[in-house]
Chain A
């Protein structure tokens, strides 16, 4: 079995403020939690962090997509090997900001350590937003998580499927589990205008290696298949 989305929840706030939060109930132990935050980026205000109610800080996934023309910034976060339970997640900004949004996603079947793969982010003004291609992930079955904020509502583009849409800050999230280990960009379609897009990737647990690709060697933190393709590097 590979990575699967167990649950998600989100909140968005119209108006100025400094925090936003959402909850997940019944999170399984040893899960992977993804977070997405958005905010107005017209000034110097940025998201200063995302944490849970146990004061565990999320790790940022790559560089933010920050479009000063659009006044929209998108960040991705993650908690790996998460402890589980009923949890509240809060994004905190460095000042008062608008177009705030938060999304939290529980995934099962992810690596417990070293779960984050390559990321990519971009901004632009076309009608075909693209995060830009990631580097080549180190595993088959990698989970791609993409977010795009636009001046109109972006629509997910194949092979990605829609995760959710926020209608205040005009954000669309999408996901795709790629069978083979290859670079990929998250893309959308929408009315042309300034957009910001980001994609981050996460690796499945070793048990997610597709059948037919037998493990033949394990040493020094690396796992090789019989075709000598490295799946994991610590």
Chain B
């Protein structure tokens, strides 16, 4: 399931998205966000957390401007991506159950940061 993150000007500080419900049986989460206008000196610290009905567990990475970057094939990208799995335990993938949710926090330094948006995809 794909949850769109709309275009917006993210001010300095915390910018919460969600929480949204995770389909039962999901194992992977990918957050993408346009950073074409993330300039030098700006940072968007991205924290994605999953609620498993007991606790929030976070995955995070900061993204430092200027935004566009090149992959290993030299292709220029305007979108950053934070990808993670819900894990593997005792040889079996951890699958989301009823009531699981996911939320994202874009913590901006030296905002506002103008983004064309992105997606939060759960599969």
Contact with A170, one of B72, B79, B83 (Cβ below 8 angstroms): B72
Stretch at the interface among A12-20, A140-148, A181-189, A222-230: A12-20
Contact A19 B61 (CB under 8 A): yes
Give the size range of B's interface with the partner.
20 to 34
In the assembly, what is the distance between CA of A230 and CA of B88, in Å?
Answer: 34
Q: Which of A17, A25, A169 is the most central at the interface, judged by chain B CB atoms within 10 Å of its CB?
A: A17
In the assembly, what is the distance between CA of A25 and CA of B49, in Å?
Answer: 13
CB under 8 Å from chain B, chain A span 48-103: 70-72, 86, 88, 96, 98-100
Instruction: Assess whether B3 is interfacial by the CB under 8 Å rule.
Output: no
Q: What residues of A have a CB within 8 angstroms of the CB of B43 in the complex? A: 17
Q: How far is the CB of B104 from chain A (nearest CB, A)?
A: 13
Instruction: Assess whether A126 is interfacial by the CB under 8 Å rule.
Output: no
Q: How far is the CB of A79 from chain B (nearest CB, A)?
A: 17
Q: How far is the CB of A194 from chain B (nearest CB, A)?
A: 10
Number of A-B contacts defined by CB within 8 Å: 98
Stretch at the interface among A3-11, A111-119, A198-206: A3-11
CB under 8 Å from chain B, chain A span 114-153: 151
Contact A16 B63 (CB under 8 A): yes
Contact B81 A22 (CB under 8 A): no
Contact B81 A15 (CB under 8 A): yes
Q: Mark A160-187, 1 if CB is under 8 A from B, else 0.
A: 0000101111100000000000000000
Q: How far is the CB of A101 from chain B (nearest CB, A)?
A: 9
Known A14-B71, A14-B81; contact A9-B61, beta-carbon cutoff 8 A: no
Q: How far is the CB of A175 from chain B (nearest CB, A)?
A: 12
Instruction: Assess whether A2 is interfacial by the CB under 8 Å rule.
Output: no
Contact A6 B83 (CB under 8 A): no
Q: How far is the CB of A139 from chain B (nearest CB, A)?
A: 23
Contact B64 A12 (CB under 8 A): no
In the assembly, what is the distance between CA of A71 and CA of B71, in Å?
Answer: 11
Instruction: Assess whether A21 is interfacial by the CB under 8 Å rule.
Output: yes
In the assembly, what is the distance between CA of A22 and CA of B79, in Å?
Answer: 21
In the assembly, what is the distance between CA of A8 and CA of B87, in Å?
Answer: 6
Contact A6 B89 (CB under 8 A): yes
Which residue of A has the minimal Cβ distance to B94?
A7
Nearest 6 CB-CB pairings of A with B: A15-B80, A13-B61, A11-B84, A9-B87, A7-B89, A14-B81
